[in-house]
Structure 1
Amino acid sequence: MKIKNCIYIFAFALFFTSCIPNKDLVYLQKTDKKTNDNEVKEVVAKPYRVQTNDILTINIKALDQKLVEMFNTSTVQNQSQNQNTPQNLYFTGYSVDDHGNIRIPVLGNLNVLGYTLDEIRTTIEKKLLDEYFNSEARLYVTVKLAGLRYTINGEITNPGTNVLYQDRVTIMEAIANSGDITMTGDRRKVQIIRKYPHGYETYTVDLTKDTAIDSPYFYLQPNDYIYIKPLKQKSWGTGTTGVQTISTIITALSLVTTTILLTRNL
């Protein structure tokens, strides 16, 4: 009887510890019960500052487009919107070298390291107006990142490197674009490894709490690496749902019972 009681206790303990609770699966759960569900939260994302190895797309337009053709690469001008693939942008965009410079036709080297996209646009416009054109040319300059590239790995449905053609991308959008975190993924400790001029830094975001939106790392930056850790339930191998866990326990109890009966008969 003592052996049976021990087996039952072990089975119940295994059941309650191996199942993944619902609170570990739901995103952005409300932490403050007093707040209004429709409360508007301020966006804390700061303007992105260009780093080495970034790729920029620069387009210069004017009233007379022939006057600015020499500043634009012919490949970019003739490129249709459907051809803006990561591969094409790699060869036609402006890559920021190790010294923080990009090389623009006619204008030559331009240092962009640590500048925002708007600051780069203003610098190019000023350089063109000072050296080549006047205000009557009606210059129009656009500067964008050639897509926001990120890498996601770990407990994710589709791990790998992806590119989203948006000015801003949240970590929730990146996860959704990669097929969502698996049931055995730890949503409470999502790691973001981010590159800075001085090296790499690692941050942890709890995506089960609505306070994740307030985190400065809720918005991704180019070349971010996202790692989803596995939950302990995966290493235990008892199953992720109640049905799977019960099946595992029944199998284990059957094995133990059979072993006891065979031992007694010997």
Structure 2
Amino acid sequence: MIAKIFSKLHNRCNNCTLPAFLISLSLLSSCIAQRNVEYLQDVNETIKSFTETEFPDYKLKANDELYIQINSLDEEAANVFSSSRQQSAYFGSIQPYGASLLSYSVDKEGYLLLPVIGKILVRDKTLSDVNLIIKDSLTHVLNQPVVSVKLVNRYVTVLGEVRNPGHFSYAQEKLSVYDAVGLAGDMTEYGNRNRVLLIRNENGENLRINLDLTKSEMLVSNYYYLRPNDMIYIKPLRKKFWGMREFPFSVLFSTLTTGLLIYNIFR
């Protein structure tokens, strides 16, 4: 009697070998290795130094937006340049898109139109250059003018396998690709860290640049720092398509259970 029971259990286990194998295989294929989720991987764990990559000053182009603030010892004369839209900036913080209402736009020809001063060519010039141009233009108008020029349209877009994709504004002069990923809440476990796409517009051409965020050499890459209006796209790992979240385990187990029940009834 005992021998018959063990024989039946053995036969049932043999019948379940293939389904069990398939389930095990699907579980193994859904695992994400640690090397797939680490940044700046390096075999050498000692401290390494990297020379910071050069970051040239941003050169203005058409449709850029500038916030310009002009002050002087002669407040009444300086008020000519401080319109109501600029004065409103003192009431609370400036929101990213609201800042465009307080700014001056560079036209298609690369000119900036300012009160009293008129048109000045700013295309292919840095913010420091524009600051000096405006200050020199005001030396005979204002007493010791103080000029501040800021770029308003500092945005970066992060899409793909991140937790919070979107269009983000930033104020600092330098924003690294890792900073941008951080703004988007970091990559998901299915984000492909060694196949990151950087989309950048240079001289009217859209560039498609592949980045590997798992390499320490990224710290000295010319693309370590982003430029205004860059876009980052995080590709998914192939394992995502058969991952734990997407694989229909409930349907699989239900089908196996039903199949075994029918087998026991009609065998």
Task: Give TM-score scaled by structure 1 length.
Answer: 0.81
Instruction: Say whether 1:29 aligns with 2:41.
Output: yes
Partner AA of 1:220 in structure 2 = L
- Describe how 1:103-142 pairs up with structure 2 within 5 A: 103-129=113-139, 132-133=141-142, 137-142=143-148
User: Would you say 1:44 and 2:54 are equivalent positions?
Assistant: yes
Q: What is the aligned counterpart of 1:212 among 218, 227, 237?
A: 218
Residue from 88, 92, 105 that aligns with 2:102 = 92
Matched, 1:221 2:227: yes
Matched with 2:29 is 17
Q: 1:189–1:229: 8 Å Cα contact kept in structure 2?
A: yes
User: Following the alignment from structure 1 to structure 2, what is the Cα–Cα distance between the partners of residues 81 and 211?
Assistant: 44
Q: Across the two proteins, how many residue pairs are aligned to each other? A: 254
Per-residue displacement from partner, 1:65-94 (whole Å, max 9, x unpaired)?
Answer: 333222333321342162311233111101
- Between the aligned partners of 1:85 and 1:67, the Cα distance in structure 2 is 28
Q: Spell out the pairing of 1:1-266 with structure 2 (5 A cutoff).
A: 10-30=22-42, 33=44, 36-37=46-47, 39-80=49-90, 82-129=92-139, 132-133=141-142, 137-146=143-152, 148-239=154-245, 248=249, 252=252, 255-256=255-256, 259=259, 262=262, 265=266
Q: What's the CA shift for 1:148?
A: 1.7
Please say if residues 168 and 219 of structure 1, whose CA atoms lie closer than 8 Å, have aligned partners that are also in contact: yes
Which stretches of structure 1, 4 residues or longer, exceed 6 Å deviation after superposition? 1-5
Shift of residue 257 of structure 1?
7.6
User: Unaligned regions of 5+ residues in structure 2, if any?
Assistant: 1-12
Q: Aligned residues: percent identity?
A: 30
8 Å CA contact 2:70, 2:81 repeated in 1: yes
SS at match of 1:202: strand
Deviation (angstroms), 1:193:
1.0
The amino acid of 1:189's aligned partner reads R
Rounded Cα–Cα distance in structure 2 between residues aligned with 1:68 and 1:92: 17
TM-score by length of 2: 0.81
CA 1:120 to 1:2, structure 2 compared with 1: closer, same or farther past 3 Å?
Answer: farther
Structure 2 residue matching 1:132: 3-state secondary structure: coil
Gaps of 5+ in 1: none
User: In structure 2, how many angstroms separate the alpha carbons of the residues matched to 1:74 and 1:254?
Assistant: 68
Residues in 1 aligned to 2:92 and 2:214: alpha-carbon distance in whole angstroms:
37
